[in-house]
């Protein structure tokens, strides 16, 4: 049986690297394989044009719903070039016999390093620093920072990325506390991590990092009720998924003297509407539009910084991702099964 593999949301540089890798490891070993690269995402309004697709390699802005799947009668395998899978209706895929896999480990260290870049940026007031320098203002007003050594790092979710956060925090002399339903004995023994309740972590941590996947059970894990527990001078960093943190609760905290250490977000509610112009051309659900506007409202606070969902985005991580995808595709073509199925790591 011939296979048609379609890469969606493919950038030119990705295409070049994928083509080189597939020529070496796939196209020379398998007959009847057709490969196509598409710059647009796979969504309901585009899916019907790809009805012959048997393997779809998607990215973050490809929203896979039951209606999308209806347009893809030959689809057997869906790979997302992400760790998170909240853009995929996995249950509908499984009901249709479609295998689903992700790329779980390619950017664990990469994301952890980015989180600490954000932590350092908040601790040393880098946003205000840059703004003052652009005005040729060399005064020190508002730039008093604080040391991280000796402070308490709180890690919410100690999966692959969270584990690296614990390691880095320990390495710079921070006390590390964590919340996870599956405590890691290795982290306890190697880095002195103390596992505590979520409430205790929020009330004791000077630096709060959110590193859990997004599922219904983690929706607004940080909310109005528990954000009241944080220290006035604490900081919060979210590089997991936007809806894990309630934006309205963040605004309340900032307006009421909490989180004076700052807030750094690499992910945020209403993210797709802000990062993908095509969404703004559609009729957005009111909730999505509201959350996007609330997210923009956060920028009025001088100690809030954003990055546009790039925590994973380094040359090394992209190379690892491409290598993983190619190996996974080869495994599927050989055995008609995926190399890895995603699993919850919270």
Encode the chain in three state secondary structure: CCEEEEECCCCHHHHHHHHHHHHHHCCCCCCCEEEEECCCCCCCCCHHHHCCCCEEEECCCCCECHHHHHCCCCCCEEEECCCCCCCECHHHHHHCCCEEECCCCCCHHHHHHHHHHHHHHHHCCHHHHHHHHHCCCCCCCCCCCCCCCCCEEEEECCCHHHHHHHHHHHHCCCEEEEECCCCCHHHHHHHCCEECCHHHHHHHCCEEEECCCCCHHHCCCECHHHHCCCCCCCEEEECCCHHHECHHHHHHHHHCCCCCCEEEECCCCCHHHHHCHHHHCCCCCHHHHHHHHHHHHHHHCCCEEECCCCCCCCHHHHHHHHHHHHHHHHHHHHHCCCCCCCCCCC
Rounded to 5 degrees, what are φ and ψ at 325?
-60, -45
Out of 71, 125, 127, 309, pick the active-site residue.
Answer: 309
Instruction: Assess whether 320 carries a catalytic annotation.
Output: no
Out of 3, 9, 204, 271, pick the active-site residue.
Answer: 271
Out of 241, 258, 272, 291, pick the active-site residue.
Answer: 241
Judge whether 74 and 312 are in contact, CB under 8 Å.
Answer: no
Instruction: Assess whether 315 carries a catalytic annotation.
Output: no
Rounded to 5 degrees, what are φ and ψ at 85?
-130, 20
Instruction: Assess whether 241 carries a catalytic annotation.
Output: yes
* Active site positions, annotated: 241, 271, 309
């Amino acid at each position: 049986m011939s296979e048609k593999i379609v890469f969606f949301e493919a950038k030119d540089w990705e295409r070049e690297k994928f083509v080189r890798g597939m020529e070496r490891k796939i196209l020379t070993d398998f007959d009847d394989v057709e490969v196509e690269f598409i710059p647009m995402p796979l969504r309901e309004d585009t899916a019907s044009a790809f009805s012959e697709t048997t393997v779809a390699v998607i990215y973050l802005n490809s929203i896979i719903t039951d209606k999308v799947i209806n347009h893809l009668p030959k689809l057997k395998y869906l790979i997302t070039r992400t760790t998170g899978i909240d853009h995929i209706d996995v249950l509908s895929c499984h009901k249709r016999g479609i295998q689903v896999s992700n790329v779980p480990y390619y950017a664990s260290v990469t994301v952890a390093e980015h989180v600490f870049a954000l932590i350092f940026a908040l601790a040393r007031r880098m946003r205000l620093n840059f703004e003052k320098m652009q005005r040729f203002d060399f005064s020190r007003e508002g730039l008093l920072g604080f040391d991280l050594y000796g402070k308490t790092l709180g890690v919410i979710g100690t999966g692959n990325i969270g584990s690296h956060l614990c390691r880095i925090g320990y390495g710079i002399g921070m006390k590390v506390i964590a919340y996870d339903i599956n405590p890691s004995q290795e982290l306890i023994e190697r880095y002195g991590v103390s596992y505590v309740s979520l409430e205790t972590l929020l009330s004791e941590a000077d630096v709060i990092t959110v590193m859990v996947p997004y599922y219904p059970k983690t929706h607004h894990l940080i909310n109005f009720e528990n954000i009241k527990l944080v220290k006035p001078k604490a900081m919060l960093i979210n590089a997991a998924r936007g809806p894990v943190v309630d934006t309205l609760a963040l605004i309340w905290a900032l307006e009421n003297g909490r989180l004076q250490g700052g807030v750094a977000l690499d992910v945020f509610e209403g993210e797709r509407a802000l990062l993908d112009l095509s969404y703004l051309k559609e009729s957005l659900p009111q909730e999505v539009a509201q959350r996007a506007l609330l997210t923009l409202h956060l920028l009025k606070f001088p100690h809030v910084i954003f990055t546009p969902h790039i925590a994973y985005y380094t040359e090394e991580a992209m190379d690892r991702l491409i290598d993983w995808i190619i190996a996974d595709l080869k495994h599927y073509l050989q055995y008609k099964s995926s190399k890895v199925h995603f699993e919850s790591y919270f």
